[in-house]
Amino acid sequence: MPFYNSEEERQHGLQQLQQRQKHLIELCYTVAQKYIFEGKHEDAVPAASHSLRFRMNVHGLSSVELVPAYLLLAEASLGLGRVVQAEEYLSQAQWTVLKSTECSYAIHSLLHRNLGLLYMAKENYEEARYHLANDIYFASCAFGTEHIRASGGYFHLANIFNGLKKLDLADTLYTKMKPRKQKLFRS
Show the domains of the chain with their CATH numbers: 13-99 (1.25.40.10), 104-163 (no CATH)
- Among residues 176, 127, 170, the alpha carbon closest in space to that of 148 is found at 176
Instruction: Give the pLDDT score at 187.
Output: 39
Average pLDDT over residues 86-107: 94
H or E segment and range at residue 182: none
Instruction: Give the pLDDT score at 184.
Output: 41
Q: Is the CB of residue 145 less than 8 Å from the CB of residue 128? A: no
Instruction: Give the pLDDT score at 181.
Output: 43
Q: Report the residue count for the chain.
A: 187
Rg (CA), the chain: 20
Instruction: Give the pLDDT score at 185.
Output: 42
Give residue-wise pLDDT tens across range 32-82: 999 999 999 999 999 999 999 999 999 999 899 999 999 999 999 999 999
Cα(35)–Cα(160) distance, rounded to whole angstroms? 25
Number of other CB atoms surrounding residue 14 within 10 Å? 12
- Among residues 115, 112, 118, 128, the alpha carbon closest in space to that of 160 is found at 128
Average pLDDT over residues 130-153: 91
- Among residues 68, 78, 81, 73, the alpha carbon closest in space to that of 108 is found at 68
Which pLDDT band, with edges at 50, 70 and 90, does 10 fall under? confident
pLDDT above 60: residue 183: no
CA of 142: how far to CAs of 135, 139, 145, 147, in Å?
A: 10, 5, 9, 9
Give residue-wise pLDDT tens across range 159-170: 999 999 998 988
Average pLDDT over residues 143-160: 88
End-to-end Cα spacing for the chain: 59
Q: How far is CA 184 from the centre of its chain?
A: 30
Counting residues of the chain whose pLDDT is more than 90, the rounded percentage is: 66
Helix, strand, coil content of the chain in percent (nearest 5): 80, 0, 20
Instruction: Give the pLDDT score at 29.
Output: 95
Cα(70)–Cα(48) distance, rounded to whole angstroms? 8
62 vs 127 pLDDT, higher one: 127
